Amino acid sequence: MALRQEFTLSMGVLALLNLGLAFGAVGLLTRMGPAIELIMQDNVYSIDAAEEILIELSAADLYPAGERGSGPALEAFARARQNVTEVGEVAVLDSIEASLPGAFAGEQQAKRQLLASVRELIDINREAMERIEAEAERLGSAGAWAAVLAGIVSFLLTLLIVTRLRRRFAIPLASIHQVLSGALAGDPFRRCHTLSGPLELVQVGQAVNQLLDERQQGLEHPR
């Protein structure tokens, strides 16, 4: 392989490795974060709706039975109904829907049922948020270890490329330099050994050997 091509290829592979590692880490974080945040927002939305039902029920106790309407509570319930994200929410919402009119009419049994169902709805969504948080921590830890592993692989491949560059470029150049330095110092027998490097360096080594051979022949057989 030609010197320029081999050097360009080695540097290109090294650059691509580091770019791939950087973009991979960024991609992992940018994809994981928004997805988790969106799921958490859905659970918070349901909890807010449930808390609003409780607030309206508490406010209704300040008025004579049946005097305060359940309109705001029904609106909050409708929002929760449209935001079902967890297993078990449908049955709880059905219970809330069944007990809500009676609770606002002052029926104690309906109130107790409504309170229990709303609390269960809140618990379902809070438990879901805890699971999501634990999963996010697990994914974050896994992502961190994946980044570490990718960094180790990139480091090892970088060492491999640097070692190859040293073997293919630095060592042959040092060998040629040592042969020429030896010739200048008066060593007539030192030669470049067969070089395992780019074609251009092999040709340079062969040319140096040829020049030194001709020089030696000239010294041994002067005209």
14 domain residue, yes or no: no
pLDDT of residue 129: 87
Measured between alpha carbons, how far is 86 from 83 in angstroms, rounded to an integer? 9
pLDDT of residue 114: 94
Contact (Cβ atoms closer than 8 angstroms) between residue 201 and residue 173: yes
11 domain residue, yes or no: no
Q: Which long-range contacts (CB under 8 A, 24 or more apart) does 138-145 make?
A: 139/32, 140/32, 143/25, 143/28, 143/29, 143/32
pLDDT of residue 168: 79
Give the three-class secondary structure for 205: helix
Single pTM value for the model: 0.58
Q: Average pLDDT, whole number, for the chain?
A: 81
223 domain residue, yes or no: no
73 domain residue, yes or no: yes
Most confident segment among 13-17, 37-41, 102-106: 102-106
Q: Between these two residues, 21 and 127, which has the higher pLDDT value?
A: 127
For residue 171, give both structure tokens: 């060592």
Q: What is the pLDDT of residues 163-174, one digit of tens each?
A: 887 787 778 888
pLDDT of residue 195: 62
Measured between alpha carbons, how far is 82 from 98 in angstroms, rounded to an integer? 17
106 domain residue, yes or no: yes
For residue 143, give both structure tokens: 């992502």
Q: Which of 27-31, 52-56, 112-116 has the lowest mean pLDDT?
A: 27-31
Q: Nearest 10 degrees: CA dihedral of 49, 52, 54, 57?
A: -130
- Its domain, for residue 81, covers 21-139
Q: What is the pLDDT of residues 189-201, one digit of tens each?
A: 888 876 667 777 7
Q: What is the pLDDT of residues 90-124, one digit of tens each?
A: 999 999 999 998 988 888 999 999 999 999 999 99
62 domain residue, yes or no: yes
The proportion of the chain whose per-residue pLDDT surpasses 70, expressed as a percent, equals 82
Residue type, position 159, single letter:
L
For residue 99, give both structure tokens: 């007990």
pLDDT of residue 166: 79
CATH number of residue 103's parent domain = 1.20.120
For residue 178, give both structure tokens: 């040592």
170 domain residue, yes or no: no
Q: Which of 161, 214, 170 is nearest to 196 (CA)?
A: 170
Q: Between these two residues, 197 and 176, which has the higher pLDDT value?
A: 176
3 domain residue, yes or no: no
CB atoms within 10 A of CB 80: 24
pLDDT of residue 220: 64
- What average pLDDT does range 12-37 have in this prediction? 68
Q: What total of structural domains would you count in the chain?
A: 1
**Helix boundaries (H) for the chain:** 3-60, 71-81, 89-104, 108-165, 171-184, 199-220
Q: What is the CA radius of gyration of the chain?
A: 39
Q: Write phi, then psi, for 97 (nearest 5 degrees).
A: -60, -35
Give the three-class secondary structure for 168: helix
